[in-house]
């Protein structure tokens, strides 16, 4: 069976990444996502969380690699959030 290839829709991967805070090159490291918003950013494939080893800056940086899978993930995740939102809405109404 052939390995299913991931179709890349768009790629904007900078060859070097500069810290937006201190401007130092080659000090950024990928950081773990810490909340649902950061997870969503990661799922979209547009932003990834980075941390600067020099000044301790932390934030999302655009590393645009959009694949069919990342689009599906983003839609799925948005749908999931919508369901959670409605469930919370129902619970809040019930216990008012
Ligand atoms: Zn820095």
CB burial of residue 6 (10 Å; 0-12, 13-18, 19+): exposed
Total Cβ atoms within 10 A of residue 21? 14
- Which structure tokens are listed for 53? 């080893």
Contact 49, 42 (CB under 8 A): yes
Measured CA to CA, the distance from residue 27 to residue 55 in angstroms comes to: 9
Model confidence pTM above 0.75: no
Contact 47, 61 (CB under 8 A): yes
Give the pLDDT confidence of 8-66 residue by residue, as tens digits: 776 665 445 788 899 998 888 888 888 888 888 777 767 788 899 999 999 888 776 67
Measured in angstroms, how far is the CA atom of residue 38 from the centroid of ligand 1? 20
Measured in angstroms, how far is the CA atom of residue 74 from the centroid of ligand 1? 29
Measured in angstroms, how far is the CA atom of residue 44 from the centroid of ligand 1? 25
Measured in angstroms, how far is the CA atom of residue 37 from the centroid of ligand 1? 23
């Amino acid at each position: 069976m052939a390995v299913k290839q991931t179709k890349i829709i768009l790629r904007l991967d900078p060859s070097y990444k500069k810290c937006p805070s201190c401007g130092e090159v080659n000090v950024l490291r990928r950081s773990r996502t810490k909340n649902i918003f950061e997870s969503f950013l990661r799922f979209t494939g547009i932003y990834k969380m980075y941390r600067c080893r020099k000044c301790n800056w932390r934030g999302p940086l655009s590393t645009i690699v959009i694949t069919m899978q990342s689009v599906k993930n983003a839609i799925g995740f948005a749908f999931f959030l919508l369901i959670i939102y409605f469930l919370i809405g129902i619970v809040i109404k019930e216990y008012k």
